[in-house]
Amino acid sequence: MTPLVYVCARPQQGAARAEYESFRTAMHLDEDALEPWDLVRDPWPTDAATRWRGAVVGGSPFNMTDPESSKTPAQLRLEADLSHLAHTAARGELAVLFTCYGIGVAARALGGDVTRAFPEDTGPAVVTLTDEGRRDPVFGALAQTFTVLTAHKEGIARLPIGATLLVTNDACPVQAYRVGDRLYATQFHPEPTTRAFTERMAVYRDDGYFDARDYERLAGHVLAASVTEPVRILRAFARAF
CA-nearest of 22, 228, 227, 221 to 121 is 221
> Which residues constitute the domain of residue 88?
2-240
> Which burial class, exposed, middle or buried, applies to 146 when counting CB atoms under 10 A from its CB (0-12, 13-18, 19+)?
middle
Give the total number of structural domains in the chain: 1
Q: What does the pLDDT look like over 216-233, one tens digit per residue?
A: 999 999 999 999 999 999
> Which burial class, exposed, middle or buried, applies to 193 when counting CB atoms under 10 A from its CB (0-12, 13-18, 19+)?
middle
Instruction: For the chain, give the percent of residues with pLDDT over 70.
Output: 99
Average pLDDT over every residue of 112-141: 97
Question: How large is the C-alpha radius of gyration of the chain?
Answer: 16
* Contacts of 137 by beta carbon, 8 Å cutoff, 6+ apart: 181, 236, 240
- Give me the pLDDT at residue 139, please: 98
Average pLDDT over every residue of 72-95: 96
- Give me the pLDDT at residue 11, please: 95
- Give me the pLDDT at residue 155, please: 97
**Residue 50 φ then ψ, to 5°:** -100, -15
The DSSP bridge pattern shows strands 120-129 and 145-152 to be: antiparallel
CA-nearest of 85, 114, 101 to 183 is 85
- Give me the pLDDT at residue 109, please: 98
**Alpha carbon distances (Å) from 118 to 10, 143, 153, 154, 204:** 22, 24, 7, 6, 20
What are the residues facing 95 on neighbouring strands? 54
**Alpha carbon distances (Å) from 100 to 58, 189, 218:** 7, 6, 19
Strand order in the sheet with 183-186: 34-38, 2-8, 52-57, 95-99, 183-186, 176-179, 163-168, 120-129, 145-152
- Give me the pLDDT at residue 55, please: 98
The domain that holds 215 is classified in CATH as: 3.40.50.880
Average pLDDT over every residue of 11-40: 96
> Over 90: is that where the pLDDT of 2 sits?
no
* Contacts of 37 by beta carbon, 8 Å cutoff, 6+ apart: 5, 6, 7, 8, 44, 45
Q: What does the pLDDT look like over 165-217, one tens digit per residue?
A: 999 999 999 999 999 999 999 999 999 999 999 999 999 999 999 999 999 99
> Over 70: is that where the pLDDT of 1 sits?
no
Average pLDDT, the chain: 96
